[in-house]
Structure 1
Amino acid sequence: MKSQNNIPATKVERATRFVTTGIKVGGNYIKHYAKKAINPDLSRDELHESNAADIYETLSELKGSALKVAQMMSMDRNLLPKAYSERFQMAQYSAPPLSGPLVIKTFTRYFGKAPQALFDTFAMDASNAASIGQVHQATKNGKKLAVKIQYPGVAQSVKSDLKMVKPFAVRLMNLNEKDVDKYMDEVETKLLEETDYQLELQRSQEISTACGHINGLVFPTYYPEFSSERVLTMDWLEGFHLDDFLKTNPSQEVRNKIGQALWDFYDFQVHILRKVHADPHPGNFLMRPDGTMGVIDFGCVKEIPENYYRNYFTLINPDNLKDPAICDKVFVNLEFLHEQDTPQERKFYSDLFITMIGLLGKPFHTQEFDFGDDAYFQSIYDYAEYLSNLKELRESKVARGSKDSLYINRTYYGLYSMLNQLKAVVRTSSPAWLWQPI
């Protein structure tokens, strides 16, 4: 893959790229409708392919938060047209890498010397490149290391990038603009945290140590002496990303082992630590033939407020979900319902959320759950599509749901999605208090 010698850094340069892309997308629509005039049966597949390619090309050159948002959208395989989802998934670990001179420039700025002077060996070609940074292989004193280097200008462009990418997200995902506005601060905060590699170093060490007892998980050792604001060094972990792992045709036993490790990892973080690795996409996990799995990248960590935690999980208990008084109280606390809602609106939205929570809570309702049940996931996708087409939700004058729900929901969606791809059967443990009557 061809490397980049520079990244547009100023607001004007980055805005110009967005405008140019918008013009290309507009041109694609004109071409599509001209063809459709000749062939009324023409599908939108070719249009989606062209738009997805043009948008991804721009985002991959800009990198940073714009590309990260594309990556986040790709996690829901049924939320976007297939062409967009497939293109945006590339942001997880195969964006165009930075050229050697930019890598050296970053090291010189933060360490006063080139990487070759810090390590015994340092591969100038990146092993993989994602939205915020890229990874290089190095060695030191016989140890194989992974050195993550952040792209220049990423931290400084978060706010302006989000403003520019917002119209794309609203249109592609058919979102309510009020919802996007409400959650934008949360996204901005998390993206800024992801650009702080010193914070990531601290969280990586804390969470990996706390989760070190969980069977099947492998965490790297981190090296503060070779890390800085924009560089993070850790052990090199072997393993396959999910798609490549599945190509090895692992046995059901191995799938279940990895699936169980994933479930236990998130279960412990959510219910014990109250902070969670909130970026559960396949690029952050390295799966192995023996059923173990390496966990990397703690850049995005969501700390869960106690009040939100209690309310969020109260309705996992189906008995509580059947109690209108409990549901009403919890929905108000979680900002699904608002004081200004009419009685008709309260019933309308309550019915929607009860159905949604009942669906998403199913894995908790049995001691063991088969995440390979595609019919279950299709029911979730169908209901999500139904909700996205509801005029009442699209035109609601208020956003529905606490800002804390954004990354918690994203975490569980990513977890469920990976478990489904693994076709894993998992023991779905949960804390005892969930099943106690209120």
Structure 2
Amino acid sequence: MSEQKEQNSIPTSKVERSAKFVKTGFKIGGNYIKHYSKKLFNPDLDKSELNEDNASDIYESLSELKGSALKVAQMLSMDRNLLPQAYTDKFSQSQYNAPPLSGPLIVQTFRKYFGKSPDKIYDKFNLKSSNAASIGQVHQAELNGQKLAVKIQYPGVGDSISSDLKLVKPFAFRLLGISGKDLDVYMNEVEERLLEETDYELEVRRSVEFSNACSGLDNIIFPTYYPELSSKRIITMSWIDGKHLKEFLATNPSQDLRNQIGQALWDFYNFQQHELRAVHADPHPGNFMITPEGKLGVIDFGCIKEMPEDFYYPFFSLTSTDLLGNREETIKAFRELEMILPNDTESQIEFYYTMYKQMISLFAKPYMSNTFDFGKTAFFDELYGFGEQVAKMPEFKQARGVKHFIYVNRTNFGLYNILHELKAEVKTDTYKPHLVAV
């Protein structure tokens, strides 16, 4: 991990956190004044410098606040269609490289939940974190000769989710160009998942359940969890040695090894979606390690998305069958998924039917063959090119689709992006949807 200045405190009260947002807003306002002043003398000036300045100021502020505010930035960074490149580049740092907390704050957290400092619990405990992200950071420890990873949640994160989302909502909606009233149902979904993600006792239970359920998959390993050394804000698990994706790719791995890791990822996600109907919904590279033996280590189960039947059946019928060839049945599925709304006119129905059909046809290409080469850029150029086209259309400034799309789309596009970085060719017919007629 690169050297970063440690934080000695995190604003935890609503007043402190609100003041931080206001201060950042003034900085952004100053950036706009500077940009348009320059534009008076250079009418051809683009917004690249403005975007970089704003992205840096916003990320600096969110990094100090941590928690759900920084988590939203992380989520936005995972889809390159949503934000200008400067924001995506800066916000992606939150995936596994946020500024860490200082040692005294770590000791304070242990005393609050265990009544003693970490050196009284473990044989060895490194106060310097090995990985710091949006909600917590990881420290290396040792007990009875066993190497451990100890994840510690930042103070105040779980108590500030609702107020943070209210503060970050105008900023997020402005970047996305969508009115706030249309996204309340989605913000409620994000809040529910974040509340779950800050409950480390729930995460330990889910981690054990999912790692047991997925234990039969090839080339995947999971940590061993220690509930007796965990609490509502601390998780202790066995340490998995390995490299994150960028570090792994820097070793110039063979194509066979890339394919092996890619296949493990594909099977891991599709097994969950189609066999468990619940999925690890945070597929950013910081949540995975690639071991020296060429296995995929899954080190975080904080965000789990369950898929109810009234979403699962119409969605995967569209992506995994020839249903799109039947206009009437496709429109029926679009209505069930709230992609076409009850009050839409005939012309709106035709427009959204045409656009969504094209969008899903692109997304579903990997599912429509027995193997798929994610290393080919043509698929992603077409997919994201279409996304950029749609993002500029006023018809898509109204939020559409049931709330489940937020995390299911995030999951699948995140998976696609990692497979693309791996340049992996995978067998895509290993786990098929279990469908009934829509």
TM-score calculated relative to the size of structure 1: 0.97
Correspondence 1:184 to 2:213? no
Correspondence 1:165 to 2:181? no
Matches of 1:173 and 1:305, distance apart in 2 = 27
TM superposition shift of 1:149: 0.4
Q: Which moved more, 1:207-216 or 1:308-317?
A: 308-317
Matches of 1:83 and 1:433, distance apart in 2 = 37
Correspondence 1:18 to 2:31? no
Q: Which amino acid aligns with 2:87?
A: Y
Correspondence 1:363 to 2:385? no
Q: Classify the secondary structure of the residue corresponding to 1:137.
A: strand
Matches of 1:106 and 1:65, distance apart in 2 = 19
The Cα offsets for residues 49-80 of structure 1, whole Å up to 9 and x where unpaired, read as 11111000000000000000000111113432
Q: Classify the secondary structure of the residue corresponding to 2:160.
A: helix
Q: Classify the secondary structure of the residue corresponding to 2:240.
A: coil
TM superposition shift of 1:347: 1.1
Q: Which residue of 2 aligns with 1:68?
A: 71
CA contact (8 A) 1:255 1:291 kept: no
The Cα offsets for residues 121-163 of structure 1, whole Å up to 9 and x where unpaired, read as 0001111110000100000000110000000100110001001
Q: 1:414 to 1:59 in 2, by over 3 A?
A: same
CA contact (8 A) 2:313 2:435 kept: no
Q: Which residue of 2 aligns with 1:144?
A: 147
Match of 1:339 among 307, 328, 342: 342
Q: Which amino acid aligns with 1:59?
A: L
Match of 1:54 among 50, 54, 57: 57
Correspondence 1:286 to 2:289? yes
Q: Which amino acid aligns with 2:157?
A: V
Matches of 1:41 and 1:187, distance apart in 2 = 39
Q: Which residue of 2 aligns with 1:423?
A: 423
Match of 1:330 among 319, 329, 333: 333
Q: Which moved more, 1:312-321 or 1:56-65?
A: 312-321
Q: Which moved more, 1:371-380 or 1:55-64?
A: 371-380
Matches of 1:22 and 1:433, distance apart in 2 = 46
Q: Classify the secondary structure of the residue corresponding to 1:315.
A: helix
Q: Which residue of 2 aligns with 1:253?
A: 256
Q: What aligned pairs does 1:14-413 form with structure 2 within 5 A after superposition? A: 14-394=17-397, 396=398, 399-413=399-413
TM superposition shift of 1:315: 0.9
Q: 1:164 to 1:154 in 2, by over 3 A?
A: same
Q: Which amino acid aligns with 2:388?
A: E
Q: 1:385 to 1:255 in 2, by over 3 A?
A: same
Correspondence 1:9 to 2:12? yes
CA contact (8 A) 1:25 1:51 kept: yes
Q: Which moved more, 1:313-322 or 1:24-33?
A: 313-322
Q: Which amino acid aligns with 2:370?
A: Q
CA contact (8 A) 1:245 1:288 kept: no
Q: Which amino acid aligns with 1:17?
A: K
TM-score calculated relative to the size of structure 2: 0.97
TM superposition shift of 1:307: 2.0
The Cα offsets for residues 33-61 of structure 1, whole Å up to 9 and x where unpaired, read as 11121222322221111111100000000
Matches of 1:347 and 1:385, distance apart in 2 = 21
Q: Classify the secondary structure of the residue corresponding to 1:9.
A: coil
Matches of 2:270 and 2:182, distance apart in 1 = 28
Q: Classify the secondary structure of the residue corresponding to 1:155.
A: coil
CA contact (8 A) 1:317 1:434 kept: no
CA contact (8 A) 1:372 1:420 kept: yes
Q: Classify the secondary structure of the residue corresponding to 2:403.
A: coil
Q: Which amino acid aligns with 2:236?
A: T
Matches of 1:173 and 1:425, distance apart in 2 = 33
Q: Classify the secondary structure of the residue corresponding to 2:319.
A: coil
TM superposition shift of 1:291: 2.5
CA contact (8 A) 2:274 2:432 kept: no
Matches of 2:104 and 2:134, distance apart in 1 = 19
The Cα offsets for residues 238-259 of structure 1, whole Å up to 9 and x where unpaired, read as 1111111111111111100000
Q: Which amino acid aligns with 1:271?
A: H
Q: Which moved more, 1:109-118 or 1:329-338?
A: 329-338
Q: Classify the secondary structure of the residue corresponding to 2:358.
A: helix
